[in-house]
Amino acid sequence: MSGKEIVRCPWVGLADPEYTRYHDEEWGVPQGNDRALFEKLVLEGFQSGLSWLTILKKRGNFRRAFHDFEAERIARYGAKDIARLMGDAGIVRNRLKIEATIDNAKALLKLRDRTSLAGFIWGFLEGRPLINRHESFKTVPAQTPISTAISKGLKAEGFRFVGPTTIYAFMQSTGMVNDHLVSCHRYAPCAKLQQKFKAPGDRASA
């Protein structure tokens, strides 16, 4: 199959090659690792009001700036770290989102006294990804009852910047739902991975 014959979701367009790689290798692949889920949760929060491509291009900088999203380290951030991050042109310098990331790290550590982040979130789906069959992005929702429930659950645990729309984008990205169009070359591979996926239980999977 040549590159011209590959059919992708239309949101990829003719964007940056990194966007194409993200679509082809990452978007819609089920994820059960706590650190990876925490990273995506933080980045989706930073994306609010911006394009995902902007965040994607800065992801390496975010990983460096936030110590590879190690929750234990981030939870100890103080005023000097906030000042360091506010002075880092490689990331999105938004004080509210930076402070929310620190609070989210603390919330994650508290949650881990009972369960893993993966176990908590996947529990709203009873451990099973939702495999949709959209033929057009006009039918893809911005949020769902499940994303609303996860949002409320996370907020109750102390997480911030986790609204229903942000959470649905997070669900799409981490393979909790398959919102590749059925015509997309990644629909069937992601569906296969989702059918085989075994969601984590109560043990932390980081």
Asked if residue 22 belongs to a domain, the reply is no
Q: Please pick, among 19, 39, 44, 77, the residue that the annotation labels catalytic.
A: 44
Residue 64: give the domain boundaries: 32-196
- Rounded to the nearest integer, the mean pLDDT of the chain is 93
Q: Is 52 an annotated catalytic residue?
A: yes
Q: What pLDDT is recorded for position 15?
A: 65
Asked if residue 6 belongs to a domain, the reply is no
Asked if residue 12 belongs to a domain, the reply is no
**Residue 26 token pair:** 């990452």
Asked if residue 3 belongs to a domain, the reply is no
Asked if residue 105 belongs to a domain, the reply is yes
CATH number at residue 55: 1.10.340.30
The β-bridge partners of 130 are 177
Query: Pick from 122, 71, 80: which is nearest to 101 by CA?
Result: 71
Asked if residue 13 belongs to a domain, the reply is no
pLDDT tens by residue, 3-19: 468 899 999 977 689 99
Q: What is the mean pLDDT of residues 86-103?
A: 98
Q: Please pick, among 52, 70, 99, 157, the residue that the annotation labels catalytic.
A: 52
Asked if residue 107 belongs to a domain, the reply is yes
Q: Is 77 an annotated catalytic residue?
A: no
Confidence category of residue 101, pLDDT binned at 50, 70, 90: very high
pLDDT tens by residue, 34-63: 999 999 999 999 998 899 999 999 999 999
Q: What is the pTM of this model?
A: 0.93
The residue count of the chain comes to 206
For residue 114, pLDDT over 70 is answered with yes
Q: What pLDDT is recorded for position 205?
A: 42
Q: Is 26 an annotated catalytic residue?
A: no
SS3 content of the chain, % helix, strand, coil (to 5): 55, 0, 40
Number of domains in the chain: 1
Q: What pLDDT is recorded for position 16?
A: 83
Q: Please pick, among 19, 22, 27, 122, the residue that the annotation labels catalytic.
A: 22
Q: Is the dihedral of CA 191, 148, 69, 48 positive or negative?
A: positive
Asked if residue 27 belongs to a domain, the reply is no
- Contact, 128 vs 154, CB < 8 A? no
